[in-house]
């Protein structure tokens, strides 16, 4: 899965501008199914199987967008000011590079602060693309960029930008390729604009009107200093119990946990205090649906150097394949 993951993470596609990543994902699954569509908001929707007497319509969502930057102003000296697309942490910006969707690259830095010990707010940062004035600047207001940071293979673990949530996209692609038989109608949604308010999942969930929904996303780990959370890299996928935006249906949590045990797949339980996923909006779409989430442990979330363990990704594929290939018993 590493080669696939590298292609996904190195494709720049911030929220609202998912064209390139959507085309890449579509090319990866084209040999498996032709039941693929793109909706108005830009979600890529893949359907497998038909709902039988013993089956359900199941929506499985993984967002394909990433956090990014948008030009808000160009200074007279050619330095480019920007605003955020999604939750950008200023502490990660200085010294990094940005790549615009038109191919222009630049380095990110900030105005000299009065107090060098304090992190400045985002409006104090700029992108230097080598322009000498606003007249010769090759980008304009509204142009979009992603952080430019390459994929690093550390063996069992890998580091890259946008592992949130391209790691889950890789898992969904592998799962789609793995499932041979299912009693369910499985609707896989590579959702748009999650980082700016789970917008793609909202419209997709309303249209699909599923019986059950699962969101696949990353979750922060508690195995680094100063973080109090019992999710660790390499200990398996995390079954979400609660996050800031939703409480998983206890019946769904039990079903996922029992399936993991039955198939001897390592897993962890997740209680997340800050942040949420597509599951938040799926749970309350229309008349609602049974909803849960499976999370991939990830260190340094929303930084240019996120880290995941390949064992966790592979075990998430195994867990999803087992969940979706058999009848669903909620009790």
Distance CA 291, CA 17 (A): 28
Q: Of 148, 174, 185, 194, which one is the catalytic site residue?
A: 194
Residue 190: beta bridge partners? 44, 62
Contacts of 297 (CB under 8 A, 6+ apart): 218, 219, 221, 231, 232, 233, 234, 235, 237, 238, 268, 308, 309, 312
Tell me if residue 273 is catalytic.
Answer: no
Read off the DSSP letter of residue 123.
Answer: G
Provide φ and ψ at 107, rounded to 5°.
Answer: -105, 145
Tell me the residue length of the chain. 331
Q: Which residues of 133-157 are buried (b: 16+ CB within 10 A; e: fewer)?
A: eeeebebeeebbbbbbbebeeeeeb
DSSP states along 297-323: EEBSTTSSSEEEEHHHHHHHHHHHHHH
Distance CA 74, CA 146 (A): 18
Catalytic amino acids?
194
């Amino acid at each position: 899965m590493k080669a696939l993951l590298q292609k996904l993470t190195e494709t720049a596609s911030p929220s609202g501008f998912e064209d390139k990543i959507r085309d890449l994902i579509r090319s990866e699954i084209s040999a498996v199914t032709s039941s693929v569509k793109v909706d108005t908001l830009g979600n890529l929707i893949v359907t497998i199987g038909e709902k039988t007497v013993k089956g359900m319509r199941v929506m499985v969502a993984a967002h394909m967008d990433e956090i990014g930057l948008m030009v808000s102003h160009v200074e007279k000296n050619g330095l480019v000011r920007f605003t955020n697309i999604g939750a950008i942490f200023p502490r990660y910006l200085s010294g990094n590079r940005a790549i615009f969707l038109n191919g222009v690259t630049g380095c990110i830095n900030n105005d000299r602060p009065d107090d060098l010990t304090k992190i400045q707010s985002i409006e104090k940062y700029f992108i230097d693309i080598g322009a000498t004035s606003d007249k010769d600047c090759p980008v304009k207001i509204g142009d979009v960029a992603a952080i430019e940071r390459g994929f690093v293979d550390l063996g069992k673990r890998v580091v890259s930008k946008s592992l949130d949530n391209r790691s889950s996209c890789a898992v969904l692609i592998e799962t789609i390729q793995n499932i041979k038989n299912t009693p369910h109608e499985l609707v896989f949604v590579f959702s748009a604009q999650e980082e700016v308010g789970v917008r793609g999942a909202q419209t997709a969930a309303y249209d699909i009107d599923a019986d059950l929904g699962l969101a696949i996303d990353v979750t922060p780990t508690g195995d680094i200093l100063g973080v109090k959370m019992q999710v660790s890299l390499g200990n398996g996928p995390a079954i979400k119990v609660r996050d800031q935006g939703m409480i998983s249906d206890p019946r769904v949590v039990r079903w996922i946990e029992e399936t993991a045990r039955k198939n001897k797949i390592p897993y962890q339980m997740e209680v997340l205090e800050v942040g949420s996923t597509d599951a938040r909006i799926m749970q309350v779409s229309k008349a609602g649906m049974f909803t849960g989430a499976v999370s991939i442990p990830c260190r340094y979330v929303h930084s240019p150097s996120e880290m995941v363990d390949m064992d966790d990704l592979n075990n998430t594929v195994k867990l999803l394949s087992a969940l979706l290939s058999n009848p669903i018993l909620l009790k």
